[in-house]
Chain A
Amino acid sequence: MEANIAVPNEKKPTWGGGGVKPFGASYGKMMMWFFIVSDALTFSAFLAAYGLTRFKFIDSWPIADEVFTHVPFVHGEFPMIYVAFMTFVLIASSVTMVLAVDAGHQMNKKKVTIYMLLTIIGGIIFVGSQAWEWNTFINGTYGAVKTTDGKILQFVDSNGKQIALADFVVGDRGNARVQHTKGNGLWFEDEGTISQYSIAQIISSYEANPDVQIRTELIDLDKKQKTILSREKGAEELAKTRLIVEGANLEVNEYGNTIFADFFFFITGFHGFHVFSGIIFNIIVFFNVILGTYEKRGHYEMVEKVGLYWHFVDLVWVFVFTFFYLV
Protein backbone atom coordinates (compact mmCIF):
# COMPACT_ATOMS: atom_id res chain seq x y z
CA MET A 1 0.00 0.00 0.00
CA GLU A 2 2.71 2.45 0.97
CA ALA A 3 4.33 2.11 -2.41
CA ASN A 4 1.33 3.73 -4.06
CA ILE A 5 1.09 6.79 -1.87
CA ALA A 6 3.14 9.96 -2.19
CA VAL A 7 4.58 10.49 1.28
CA PRO A 8 5.75 14.05 2.07
CA ASN A 9 9.25 13.96 3.42
CA GLU A 10 11.59 16.62 4.74
CA LYS A 11 14.36 15.72 2.40
CA LYS A 12 12.47 15.29 -0.88
CA PRO A 13 10.43 17.88 -2.74
CA THR A 14 6.77 16.90 -2.72
CA TRP A 15 6.03 18.29 -6.18
CA GLY A 16 6.11 15.36 -8.52
CA GLY A 17 5.04 12.87 -5.88
CA GLY A 18 8.17 13.11 -3.79
CA GLY A 19 10.02 10.69 -5.97
CA VAL A 20 7.45 7.94 -5.40
CA LYS A 21 6.42 6.35 -8.68
CA PRO A 22 3.02 4.68 -8.72
CA PHE A 23 2.83 2.13 -11.53
CA GLY A 24 6.51 2.74 -12.15
CA ALA A 25 5.65 5.80 -14.26
CA SER A 26 7.11 9.22 -13.49
CA TYR A 27 4.77 11.98 -12.36
CA GLY A 28 5.05 13.91 -15.61
CA LYS A 29 4.48 10.92 -17.84
CA MET A 30 1.50 9.74 -15.85
CA MET A 31 -0.11 13.18 -15.89
CA MET A 32 0.47 13.38 -19.65
CA TRP A 33 -1.35 10.07 -20.03
CA PHE A 34 -4.25 11.24 -17.89
CA PHE A 35 -4.46 14.48 -19.86
CA ILE A 36 -4.54 12.39 -23.03
CA VAL A 37 -7.45 10.34 -21.65
CA SER A 38 -9.45 13.49 -21.00
CA ASP A 39 -8.55 15.00 -24.36
CA ALA A 40 -9.46 11.74 -26.08
CA LEU A 41 -12.88 11.94 -24.45
CA THR A 42 -13.30 15.51 -25.69
CA PHE A 43 -12.50 14.47 -29.24
CA SER A 44 -14.74 11.42 -29.04
CA ALA A 45 -17.56 13.64 -27.84
CA PHE A 46 -17.11 15.79 -30.96
CA LEU A 47 -16.94 12.80 -33.25
CA ALA A 48 -19.91 11.14 -31.55
CA ALA A 49 -21.92 14.35 -31.97
CA TYR A 50 -20.89 14.32 -35.63
CA GLY A 51 -22.12 10.71 -35.80
CA LEU A 52 -25.45 11.62 -34.22
CA THR A 53 -25.99 14.47 -36.67
CA ARG A 54 -24.97 12.35 -39.60
CA PHE A 55 -27.41 9.62 -38.58
CA LYS A 56 -30.08 12.28 -38.18
CA PHE A 57 -29.52 13.41 -41.80
CA ILE A 58 -28.46 10.02 -43.12
CA ASP A 59 -30.45 10.42 -46.35
CA SER A 60 -28.96 13.81 -47.28
CA TRP A 61 -25.44 14.00 -45.80
CA PRO A 62 -22.77 15.30 -48.23
CA ILE A 63 -20.64 12.58 -49.84
CA ALA A 64 -17.00 13.21 -48.89
CA ASP A 65 -15.67 12.13 -52.29
CA GLU A 66 -17.67 14.95 -53.89
CA VAL A 67 -16.50 17.56 -51.39
CA PHE A 68 -12.77 16.98 -50.90
CA THR A 69 -11.50 16.44 -54.42
CA HIS A 70 -8.61 18.81 -54.91
CA VAL A 71 -4.85 18.57 -54.88
CA PRO A 72 -2.62 21.68 -54.84
CA PHE A 73 -1.07 22.74 -58.14
CA VAL A 74 -3.03 20.09 -60.06
CA HIS A 75 -6.27 20.55 -61.94
CA GLY A 76 -8.94 17.91 -61.95
CA GLU A 77 -10.60 15.78 -59.34
CA PHE A 78 -8.68 13.40 -57.15
CA PRO A 79 -10.75 12.53 -54.12
CA MET A 80 -8.82 11.29 -51.09
CA ILE A 81 -5.33 11.77 -52.50
CA TYR A 82 -4.38 14.93 -50.67
CA VAL A 83 -5.84 13.92 -47.34
CA ALA A 84 -4.02 10.59 -47.67
CA PHE A 85 -0.82 12.57 -48.14
CA MET A 86 -1.61 14.56 -44.97
CA THR A 87 -2.16 11.33 -43.03
CA PHE A 88 1.12 10.00 -44.32
CA VAL A 89 2.97 13.16 -43.26
CA LEU A 90 1.56 12.91 -39.76
CA ILE A 91 2.46 9.22 -39.42
CA ALA A 92 5.97 9.99 -40.72
CA SER A 93 6.38 12.79 -38.17
CA SER A 94 5.22 10.36 -35.49
CA VAL A 95 8.02 8.04 -36.54
CA THR A 96 10.68 10.74 -36.35
CA MET A 97 9.30 11.66 -32.93
CA VAL A 98 9.58 8.10 -31.64
CA LEU A 99 13.08 7.89 -33.14
CA ALA A 100 13.97 11.05 -31.19
CA VAL A 101 12.70 9.40 -27.99
CA ASP A 102 14.72 6.31 -28.83
CA ALA A 103 17.85 8.39 -29.43
CA GLY A 104 17.13 10.17 -26.13
CA HIS A 105 17.28 6.85 -24.28
CA GLN A 106 20.78 6.45 -25.65
CA MET A 107 21.69 10.01 -24.68
CA ASN A 108 22.52 10.75 -28.30
CA LYS A 109 22.09 14.53 -28.41
CA LYS A 110 22.88 14.90 -32.10
CA LYS A 111 20.30 12.35 -33.21
CA VAL A 112 17.62 13.74 -30.91
CA THR A 113 18.21 17.20 -32.40
CA ILE A 114 17.86 15.98 -35.98
CA TYR A 115 14.77 13.89 -35.33
CA MET A 116 13.08 16.67 -33.36
CA LEU A 117 13.72 19.04 -36.25
CA LEU A 118 12.22 16.58 -38.75
CA THR A 119 9.18 16.16 -36.51
CA ILE A 120 8.65 19.92 -36.39
CA ILE A 121 8.94 20.16 -40.17
CA GLY A 122 6.39 17.35 -40.58
CA GLY A 123 4.00 19.16 -38.26
CA ILE A 124 4.37 22.42 -40.17
CA ILE A 125 3.69 20.65 -43.48
CA PHE A 126 0.55 19.13 -41.96
CA VAL A 127 -0.79 22.41 -40.60
CA GLY A 128 -0.01 24.12 -43.90
CA SER A 129 -1.93 21.41 -45.75
CA GLN A 130 -4.84 21.83 -43.43
CA ALA A 131 -4.86 25.57 -44.05
CA TRP A 132 -4.91 24.86 -47.78
CA GLU A 133 -7.75 22.37 -47.29
CA TRP A 134 -9.74 24.97 -45.36
CA ASN A 135 -9.07 27.58 -48.00
CA THR A 136 -10.32 25.28 -50.75
CA PHE A 137 -13.37 24.36 -48.69
CA ILE A 138 -14.22 27.98 -47.86
CA ASN A 139 -13.80 29.25 -51.40
CA GLY A 140 -15.73 26.36 -52.90
CA THR A 141 -15.46 25.06 -56.43
CA TYR A 142 -18.83 24.81 -58.11
CA GLY A 143 -21.35 27.04 -56.42
CA ALA A 144 -24.94 26.06 -55.73
CA VAL A 145 -28.24 27.63 -54.84
CA LYS A 146 -30.30 27.42 -51.69
CA THR A 147 -34.08 27.22 -51.86
CA THR A 148 -36.72 28.77 -49.65
CA ASP A 149 -37.17 25.42 -47.90
CA GLY A 150 -33.48 25.32 -47.04
CA LYS A 151 -32.23 22.78 -49.56
CA ILE A 152 -29.03 23.03 -51.58
CA LEU A 153 -29.35 22.48 -55.33
CA GLN A 154 -26.21 21.66 -57.31
CA PHE A 155 -25.80 21.56 -61.07
CA VAL A 156 -24.62 18.59 -63.13
CA ASP A 157 -24.03 18.02 -66.84
CA SER A 158 -25.67 15.28 -68.92
CA ASN A 159 -23.13 12.74 -67.61
CA GLY A 160 -24.11 13.48 -64.01
CA LYS A 161 -20.81 15.22 -63.34
CA GLN A 162 -21.03 18.37 -61.23
CA ILE A 163 -20.45 21.66 -63.06
CA ALA A 164 -19.75 25.13 -61.76
CA LEU A 165 -22.09 28.08 -62.11
CA ALA A 166 -19.51 29.65 -64.43
CA ASP A 167 -19.80 26.63 -66.74
CA PHE A 168 -23.39 27.27 -67.77
CA VAL A 169 -24.56 30.68 -66.57
CA VAL A 170 -24.60 33.10 -69.48
CA GLY A 171 -25.83 36.60 -70.21
CA ASP A 172 -26.12 39.62 -68.01
CA ARG A 173 -27.25 39.60 -64.40
CA GLY A 174 -30.10 41.84 -65.51
CA ASN A 175 -30.59 43.91 -62.38
CA ALA A 176 -27.43 46.05 -62.43
CA ARG A 177 -26.77 45.13 -58.83
CA VAL A 178 -23.30 46.05 -57.60
CA GLN A 179 -21.39 45.26 -54.43
CA HIS A 180 -22.39 47.71 -51.73
CA THR A 181 -19.33 49.06 -49.94
CA LYS A 182 -18.73 51.34 -46.98
CA GLY A 183 -17.48 54.02 -49.35
CA ASN A 184 -20.75 54.55 -51.19
CA GLY A 185 -23.25 53.52 -48.57
CA LEU A 186 -25.35 55.15 -45.97
CA TRP A 187 -24.07 55.11 -42.42
CA PHE A 188 -20.87 53.37 -43.42
CA GLU A 189 -22.65 50.08 -43.80
CA ASP A 190 -21.34 47.37 -46.07
CA GLU A 191 -22.55 43.92 -47.06
CA GLY A 192 -21.16 40.46 -47.54
CA THR A 193 -19.74 39.53 -50.93
CA ILE A 194 -22.50 39.19 -53.49
CA SER A 195 -22.41 36.66 -56.29
CA GLN A 196 -21.48 37.84 -59.75
CA TYR A 197 -24.67 36.17 -60.97
CA SER A 198 -28.27 36.96 -60.20
CA ILE A 199 -30.91 34.38 -59.39
CA ALA A 200 -32.96 35.26 -62.47
CA GLN A 201 -29.85 34.86 -64.60
CA ILE A 202 -29.21 31.35 -63.25
CA ILE A 203 -32.82 30.33 -63.84
CA SER A 204 -32.86 31.62 -67.42
CA SER A 205 -29.48 29.97 -68.15
CA TYR A 206 -30.81 26.68 -66.81
CA GLU A 207 -33.87 26.92 -69.02
CA ALA A 208 -31.78 27.81 -72.07
CA ASN A 209 -29.36 24.89 -71.70
CA PRO A 210 -30.99 21.43 -71.92
CA ASP A 211 -27.76 19.68 -70.86
CA VAL A 212 -27.86 21.08 -67.35
CA GLN A 213 -29.61 19.10 -64.66
CA ILE A 214 -30.12 19.65 -60.98
CA ARG A 215 -28.83 17.43 -58.22
CA THR A 216 -30.50 17.51 -54.83
CA GLU A 217 -29.08 16.53 -51.45
CA LEU A 218 -31.29 13.45 -51.24
CA ILE A 219 -29.26 10.24 -51.41
CA ASP A 220 -30.54 7.29 -53.40
CA LEU A 221 -29.86 4.69 -50.71
CA ASP A 222 -29.61 1.81 -53.20
CA LYS A 223 -26.84 3.44 -55.20
CA LYS A 224 -25.48 5.70 -52.45
CA GLN A 225 -25.49 8.62 -54.83
CA LYS A 226 -27.24 11.95 -54.82
CA THR A 227 -30.52 12.13 -56.72
CA ILE A 228 -30.54 13.96 -60.06
CA LEU A 229 -33.86 15.59 -60.90
CA SER A 230 -35.61 15.59 -64.26
CA ARG A 231 -35.51 18.89 -66.19
CA GLU A 232 -39.11 19.74 -65.29
CA LYS A 233 -38.82 18.87 -61.61
CA GLY A 234 -35.50 20.73 -61.56
CA ALA A 235 -37.09 23.89 -62.93
CA GLU A 236 -39.77 23.63 -60.29
CA GLU A 237 -37.23 23.38 -57.49
CA LEU A 238 -34.99 26.06 -58.98
CA ALA A 239 -37.91 28.50 -59.00
CA LYS A 240 -37.78 28.39 -55.19
CA THR A 241 -34.21 29.75 -55.14
CA ARG A 242 -33.55 32.19 -52.34
CA LEU A 243 -29.78 32.47 -52.29
CA ILE A 244 -26.73 31.80 -54.42
CA VAL A 245 -24.10 29.93 -52.42
CA GLU A 246 -20.44 29.89 -53.37
CA GLY A 247 -18.10 28.20 -50.93
CA ALA A 248 -18.73 27.65 -47.26
CA ASN A 249 -19.07 29.50 -43.99
CA LEU A 250 -20.75 28.72 -40.68
CA GLU A 251 -24.18 29.74 -41.95
CA VAL A 252 -24.40 28.24 -45.39
CA ASN A 253 -22.30 26.08 -47.71
CA GLU A 254 -22.53 24.77 -51.24
CA TYR A 255 -21.95 21.14 -50.21
CA GLY A 256 -25.21 20.53 -48.39
CA ASN A 257 -26.23 20.64 -44.75
CA THR A 258 -25.02 23.72 -42.91
CA ILE A 259 -24.03 21.62 -39.93
CA PHE A 260 -21.73 19.51 -42.09
CA ALA A 261 -19.46 22.51 -42.66
CA ASP A 262 -19.82 23.51 -39.01
CA PHE A 263 -18.54 20.12 -37.89
CA PHE A 264 -15.77 20.23 -40.47
CA PHE A 265 -14.54 23.60 -39.22
CA PHE A 266 -14.96 22.69 -35.58
CA ILE A 267 -13.39 19.23 -35.52
CA THR A 268 -10.54 19.75 -38.00
CA GLY A 269 -10.01 23.19 -36.45
CA PHE A 270 -9.73 21.77 -32.96
CA HIS A 271 -7.38 19.09 -34.22
CA GLY A 272 -5.35 21.66 -36.16
CA PHE A 273 -5.06 23.71 -32.98
CA HIS A 274 -3.67 20.64 -31.22
CA VAL A 275 -1.12 20.16 -33.99
CA PHE A 276 -0.19 23.82 -33.75
CA SER A 277 0.37 23.66 -29.98
CA GLY A 278 2.26 20.40 -30.50
CA ILE A 279 4.62 22.21 -32.86
CA ILE A 280 5.18 24.93 -30.27
CA PHE A 281 5.97 22.33 -27.57
CA ASN A 282 8.29 20.52 -29.96
CA ILE A 283 10.11 23.75 -30.77
CA ILE A 284 10.61 24.51 -27.08
CA VAL A 285 11.94 21.01 -26.45
CA PHE A 286 14.08 21.24 -29.59
CA PHE A 287 15.86 24.34 -28.27
CA ASN A 288 16.26 22.74 -24.87
CA VAL A 289 17.93 19.79 -26.55
CA ILE A 290 20.30 22.11 -28.40
CA LEU A 291 21.08 24.03 -25.20
CA GLY A 292 21.90 20.77 -23.47
CA THR A 293 19.23 21.11 -20.79
CA TYR A 294 18.40 17.40 -20.86
CA GLU A 295 22.03 16.42 -21.12
CA LYS A 296 22.58 18.25 -17.81
CA ARG A 297 19.44 16.73 -16.33
CA GLY A 298 20.76 13.29 -17.14
CA HIS A 299 17.73 12.08 -19.10
CA TYR A 300 15.57 12.99 -22.07
CA GLU A 301 12.20 12.29 -20.48
CA MET A 302 10.82 15.63 -21.65
CA VAL A 303 11.20 14.44 -25.24
CA GLU A 304 9.21 11.35 -24.28
CA LYS A 305 6.39 13.38 -22.71
CA VAL A 306 6.04 15.79 -25.60
CA GLY A 307 6.26 12.72 -27.83
CA LEU A 308 3.20 11.21 -26.14
CA TYR A 309 1.25 14.37 -26.92
CA TRP A 310 2.43 14.35 -30.52
CA HIS A 311 1.44 10.72 -31.05
CA PHE A 312 -1.93 11.45 -29.55
CA VAL A 313 -2.49 14.17 -32.15
CA ASP A 314 -1.66 11.60 -34.82
CA LEU A 315 -4.05 9.12 -33.17
CA VAL A 316 -6.90 11.63 -33.29
CA TRP A 317 -6.20 12.37 -36.95
CA VAL A 318 -6.51 8.66 -37.76
CA PHE A 319 -10.09 8.79 -36.48
CA VAL A 320 -10.94 12.15 -38.05
CA PHE A 321 -9.62 10.83 -41.36
CA THR A 322 -11.84 7.76 -41.14
CA PHE A 323 -15.04 9.45 -40.09
CA PHE A 324 -14.79 12.58 -42.23
CA TYR A 325 -13.28 11.23 -45.41
CA LEU A 326 -13.78 7.47 -45.61
CA VAL A 327 -16.94 6.26 -43.92
Chain B
Amino acid sequence: MAHAQSHTKRIWNVFWILSAITIVEVVLGIYKPDVLHLTSFLGTSPLNWLFIILTLAKAYGITWAFMHMEGEKTWFRRAVVWTAVFLIIYLVTLLLIEGDYLYSTLAPLVRW
Protein backbone atom coordinates (compact mmCIF):
# COMPACT_ATOMS: atom_id res chain seq x y z
CA MET B 1 0.00 0.00 0.00
CA ALA B 2 2.94 2.31 0.48
CA HIS B 3 3.22 5.17 -1.97
CA ALA B 4 -0.20 4.57 -3.40
CA GLN B 5 -1.52 7.27 -5.66
CA SER B 6 -3.11 10.31 -4.10
CA HIS B 7 -6.86 10.93 -4.29
CA THR B 8 -6.75 14.50 -3.02
CA LYS B 9 -8.63 15.96 -5.94
CA ARG B 10 -11.55 13.57 -5.63
CA ILE B 11 -11.70 14.14 -1.86
CA TRP B 12 -12.09 17.87 -2.35
CA ASN B 13 -14.71 17.33 -5.04
CA VAL B 14 -16.79 15.25 -2.65
CA PHE B 15 -16.32 17.91 0.02
CA TRP B 16 -17.70 20.62 -2.27
CA ILE B 17 -20.65 18.45 -3.26
CA LEU B 18 -21.49 17.70 0.40
CA SER B 19 -21.20 21.39 1.31
CA ALA B 20 -23.41 22.40 -1.61
CA ILE B 21 -26.08 19.90 -0.53
CA THR B 22 -25.94 21.26 3.03
CA ILE B 23 -26.32 24.82 1.76
CA VAL B 24 -29.34 23.83 -0.36
CA GLU B 25 -30.88 22.13 2.68
CA VAL B 26 -30.32 25.14 4.90
CA VAL B 27 -31.72 27.61 2.36
CA LEU B 28 -34.81 25.44 1.88
CA GLY B 29 -35.09 25.06 5.66
CA ILE B 30 -35.01 28.81 6.20
CA TYR B 31 -37.38 29.87 3.42
CA LYS B 32 -39.66 26.83 3.34
CA PRO B 33 -41.43 27.62 0.04
CA ASP B 34 -45.19 27.13 0.49
CA VAL B 35 -45.48 25.00 -2.64
CA LEU B 36 -43.18 22.43 -1.11
CA HIS B 37 -43.97 22.96 2.55
CA LEU B 38 -47.76 23.15 2.71
CA THR B 39 -48.59 20.48 0.19
CA SER B 40 -48.58 16.76 0.78
CA PHE B 41 -46.96 13.94 -1.12
CA LEU B 42 -46.87 10.30 -0.01
CA GLY B 43 -47.74 11.06 3.59
CA THR B 44 -45.55 14.10 4.21
CA SER B 45 -44.62 17.36 2.48
CA PRO B 46 -42.46 17.31 -0.68
CA LEU B 47 -40.00 19.48 1.29
CA ASN B 48 -39.51 16.70 3.83
CA TRP B 49 -38.96 14.18 1.05
CA LEU B 50 -36.40 16.50 -0.47
CA PHE B 51 -34.57 16.75 2.88
CA ILE B 52 -34.57 12.98 3.26
CA ILE B 53 -33.30 12.37 -0.27
CA LEU B 54 -30.54 14.98 0.10
CA THR B 55 -29.57 13.42 3.44
CA LEU B 56 -29.30 9.99 1.86
CA ALA B 57 -27.18 11.50 -0.92
CA LYS B 58 -24.85 12.94 1.71
CA ALA B 59 -24.73 9.63 3.57
CA TYR B 60 -23.81 7.90 0.30
CA GLY B 61 -21.03 10.42 -0.35
CA ILE B 62 -19.57 10.02 3.13
CA THR B 63 -19.75 6.22 3.14
CA TRP B 64 -18.55 5.60 -0.41
CA ALA B 65 -15.88 8.28 -0.77
CA PHE B 66 -14.72 9.19 2.74
CA MET B 67 -15.06 5.78 4.35
CA HIS B 68 -13.82 4.31 1.09
CA MET B 69 -16.58 1.74 0.84
CA GLU B 70 -16.22 1.85 -2.94
CA GLY B 71 -12.78 0.25 -2.59
CA GLU B 72 -13.88 -2.70 -0.45
CA LYS B 73 -14.70 -6.15 -1.84
CA THR B 74 -18.26 -6.35 -3.16
CA TRP B 75 -19.56 -8.84 -0.62
CA PHE B 76 -17.92 -7.11 2.31
CA ARG B 77 -19.66 -3.92 1.25
CA ARG B 78 -22.95 -5.75 0.95
CA ALA B 79 -22.52 -7.48 4.33
CA VAL B 80 -22.27 -4.06 5.95
CA VAL B 81 -24.61 -1.93 3.86
CA TRP B 82 -27.44 -4.36 3.13
CA THR B 83 -27.63 -5.54 6.74
CA ALA B 84 -27.80 -2.04 8.16
CA VAL B 85 -30.15 -0.65 5.51
CA PHE B 86 -32.56 -3.57 5.76
CA LEU B 87 -32.77 -3.48 9.56
CA ILE B 88 -33.12 0.29 9.66
CA ILE B 89 -35.92 0.37 7.07
CA TYR B 90 -37.69 -2.44 8.92
CA LEU B 91 -37.48 -0.72 12.31
CA VAL B 92 -38.38 2.74 11.04
CA THR B 93 -41.39 1.47 9.09
CA LEU B 94 -42.81 -0.41 12.06
CA LEU B 95 -42.25 2.40 14.55
CA LEU B 96 -43.69 5.09 12.31
CA ILE B 97 -46.83 3.04 11.64
CA GLU B 98 -47.11 2.53 15.40
CA GLY B 99 -46.65 6.25 16.03
CA ASP B 100 -49.39 7.08 13.55
CA TYR B 101 -51.68 4.59 15.26
CA LEU B 102 -50.94 6.14 18.67
CA TYR B 103 -51.82 9.56 17.28
CA SER B 104 -55.11 8.42 15.80
CA THR B 105 -56.02 6.71 19.06
CA LEU B 106 -54.85 9.30 21.57
CA ALA B 107 -55.34 12.63 19.79
CA PRO B 108 -59.17 12.54 20.01
CA LEU B 109 -58.80 12.31 23.79
CA VAL B 110 -56.89 15.58 24.06
CA ARG B 111 -58.96 18.71 24.49
CA TRP B 112 -57.32 21.88 23.14
Contact = CB atoms under 8 A, between A and B. Distances in A.
B10 to A, nearest CB: 10
A44 B25 contact: no
Nearest to B48: A327
Interface in A140-159: 149, 151
A170 interface: no
Contacts of B35: none
Given A91-B22, A322-B52, A52 B98 contact: yes
A88 B73 CA distance: 31
Contacts of B18: 91
B38 A223 contact: yes
A308 interface: yes
Interface in A295-327: 298-299, 307-308, 311-312, 314-315, 318-319, 321-322, 325-327
Nearest to A22: B76
A252 interface: no
Interface string B34-56: 00011000001000100110010
Contacts of B48: 327
A235 interface: no
Nearest to B12: A95
Contact of B15 (A56, A92, A319): A92
Nearest to A217: B112
Given A52-B96, A91-B19, A107-B2, A44 B102 contact: no
Contacts of A151: 112
A87 interface: yes
Highest count of chain B CB atoms <10 Å: which of A51, A97, A322, A325? A322
Given A91-B15, A98-B11, A55 B112 contact: no
B33 interface: no
Interface string A44-57: 11011101111111
Interface residues of A, number: 67
A304 to B, nearest CB: 8
Nearest to A101: B68
A222 B102 contact: no
Nearest to B3: A106
Given A54-B99, A95-B15, A218-B112, A319 B59 contact: yes
A41 B25 contact: no
Interface stretch (A7-15, A23-31, A268-276): A23-31
A59 interface: yes
A26 B29 CA distance: 42
Contacts, number: 157
A102 interface: yes
Nearest to B58: A318
Contact of B91 (A44, A57, A101): A44
A37 B84 contact: yes
Given A44-B91, A55-B96, A55-B102, A37 B83 contact: yes
Interface string A81-115: 10010011001101101110110011100000000
Interface of A: 22-25, 30, 33-34, 36-37, 40-41, 44-45, 47-49, 51-59, 65, 79-81, 84, 87-88, 91-92, 94-95, 97-99, 101-102, 105-107, 149, 151, 216, 218, 222-224, 227, 298-299, 307-308, 311-312, 314-315, 318-319, 321-322, 325-327
30 contacts: A24-B72, A24-B76, A37-B83, A37-B84, A40-B84, A40-B88, A41-B88, A41-B91, A48-B95, A51-B95, A54-B99, A55-B100, A55-B102, A56-B102, A56-B106, A57-B103, A80-B26, A80-B30, A84-B22, A87-B22, A91-B18, A95-B12, A97-B66, A102-B7, A102-B8, A222-B38, A307-B67, A315-B62, A318-B58, A322-B51
Interface of B: 1-4, 6-8, 11-12, 14-15, 18-19, 22-23, 25-26, 28-30, 37-38, 44, 48, 51-52, 55, 58-59, 62-63, 65-68, 72-73, 75-76, 79-80, 83-84, 87-88, 91-92, 95-96, 98-100, 102-103, 106-107, 111-112
